[in-house]
């Protein structure tokens, strides 16, 4: 461990950013969609994370960052942010490869409802079966297929004309073979 002494160990904050951005070229990014930033303290101990565990620095930042209007940030517990991360991962596991493989904008995903249901069912099953998540309150309902479909539909409605990051990186605008 890099910082074995708990007294000198740094405090970390984890989060999920839902704002939309477009990479125009290296170091040239356009903010395309105002959304939310969800932040939470990373537990310092090796034991199970507590909902309220915060260090002085992370506590200060978790109070200060939500005051910046452009961030639209909200502080949550570590477990809440962790579940938001799993939810975003689940959505991206479906959206990114399907758009990249089909060289398509996000609205394409509305045309493959049977594939969407099958993939989201598999993603939900795999993530909920992870041993680390067993007994974690809220995971089953948050990552249920119906909830993931609802989340995907809400995101696709807002971002129908955009392209996902994987398409921009791997698709290069041409159909992959």
Q: Which of 76, 95, 121 is the last residue of a domain?
A: 76
Contact 3, 9 (CB under 8 A): yes
One domain, residues 28 and 72: yes
Average pLDDT of the chain, as a whole number = 83
In this prediction, residue 65 carries a pLDDT of: 93
One domain, residues 88 and 27: no
Q: How confident is the model at residue 76 (pLDDT cuts 50, 70, 90)?
A: very high
Contact 18, 37 (CB under 8 A): yes
Q: Which of 140, 144, 137 is nearest to 49 (CA)?
A: 137
The fraction of the chain above a pLDDT of 70, given in percent, is: 86
Q: How confident is the model at residue 50 (pLDDT cuts 50, 70, 90)?
A: very low
Q: What is the pTM of this model?
A: 0.79
The arithmetic mean of pLDDT across residues 148-154, rounded, is 91
**Contacts of 26 by beta carbon, 8 Å cutoff, 6+ apart:** none
Q: Which has more pLDDT, 118 or 136?
A: 118
Q: Which of 54, 76, 98 is the last residue of a domain?
A: 76
Contact 84, 112 (CB under 8 A): no
One domain, residues 61 and 89: no
One domain, residues 152 and 91: yes
């Amino acid at each position: 461990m890099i910082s074995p002494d708990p007294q000198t160990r740094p405090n970390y904050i984890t989060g999920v950013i839902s704002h939309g951005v477009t990479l125009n070229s290296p170091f040239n990014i356009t903010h395309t969609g105002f959304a939310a930033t969800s932040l939470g303290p990373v537990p310092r101990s090796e034991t199970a994370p507590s909902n309220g565990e915060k260090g002085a620095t992370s506590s200060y930042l978790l109070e200060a960052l939500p005051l910046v209007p452009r961030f639209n940030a909200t502080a949550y517990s570590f477990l809440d942010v962790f579940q938001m991360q799993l939810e975003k991962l689940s959505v991206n596991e479906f959206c990114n490869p399907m758009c990249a493989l089909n060289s398509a904008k996000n609205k394409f995903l509305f045309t493959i409802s049977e594939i969407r249901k099958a993939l989201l069912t598999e993603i939900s099953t795999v993530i909920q079966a992870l041993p680390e998540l067993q007994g974690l309150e809220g995971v089953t309902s948050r990552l249920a297929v119906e909830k993931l479909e609802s989340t995907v539909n809400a995101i696709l409605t807002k971002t129908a004309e955009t392209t996902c990051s994987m398409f921009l990186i791997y698709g290069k605008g041409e159909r992959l073979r």
